[in-house]
Structure 1
Amino acid sequence: MFPFPPRKPNKKVIIPQKKNFPSSSPRRVNIPSHFQKNPLITYSQIEIERELQKYPGLLRTLSHAYQYQVTFMDDKTENQYWFCRNIELTMVLLKYLNEKNWSVDWQEKPFILK
């Protein structure tokens, strides 16, 4: 008779299982590093309009990185916007601007440009 090679063991069949992710988990948002580093960021009206043309999702990104918006509006000059990370920094900024006799408006997110 002929010599037969030894039999190979049967391969184990692994059935892939579906992972159930919770549907309510929020999407991870990439916040640019310059927003992560700075607790306060300032934009003029012209700068923010230019940035919004380049990056239409800028306000959404700012609302992920910052909590409060301070707006200075004047008829003679252009609007100024400050975005602050926490209430303590916002209060310090408001106190400083009130000492300069600037009339400012502040709000929590969602941010709105006026």
Structure 2
Amino acid sequence: MGALISLFLITMFSFRPKFNKKNIPPPTPKIKERPKRLVKIPFHFQRNDIVTYSEKDMKRELYKYPGLLKTLGHAYQYEIIYTSKDGRVDYWFCRDLPTTTKLLKYLNEQGWTVDWREKPFVL
């Protein structure tokens, strides 16, 4: 009977060491961040695959925005230059090679002789 009482007391009043429960903070949701561009490209250049400038427009824009060629270099890959017989110069800036080849084919069909190059752009 004494063994039964001691078993009863052990089960009723167990003196096992209590361990603290680890506090686990609730998981914070991961926010998807877009990669930040190193260079801020104006919306107009982001939206259009081809941008056209005449020589007069280009000089005016370069006067107002001296970093225009650098910005165009970040936004576009190819430059097409047309020089007419009277000395007028037109510039096209294209984003990718398929667009550039389509424009070159069209200009050749019109009978225009053009030069094209990749970055860096030089006037």
Greater percentage in helix = 2
**TM-score greater than 0.5 by the shorter chain:** yes
Confirm or deny that 1:87 pairs with 2:97.
Answer: yes
Confirm or deny that 1:99 pairs with 2:106.
Answer: no
- Corresponding pairs, count: 87
Question: Paired residue for 1:74?
Answer: 84
Structure of greater Rg: 2
- In structure 1, stretches of 5+ residues that fail to align are 1-26
- The two structures have a TM-score, normalised by structure 2, of 0.69
Confirm or deny that 1:28 pairs with 2:38.
Answer: yes
Runs of 4+ in 1 over 4 A off after TM superposition: none
CA separation in 1, counterparts of 2:95 and 2:89? 20
CA separation in 2, counterparts of 1:52 and 1:33? 18
| Alignment RMSD (CA, Å) | 1.0
Q: How far did 1:77 drift? A: 4.4
- The two structures have a TM-score, normalised by structure 1, of 0.74
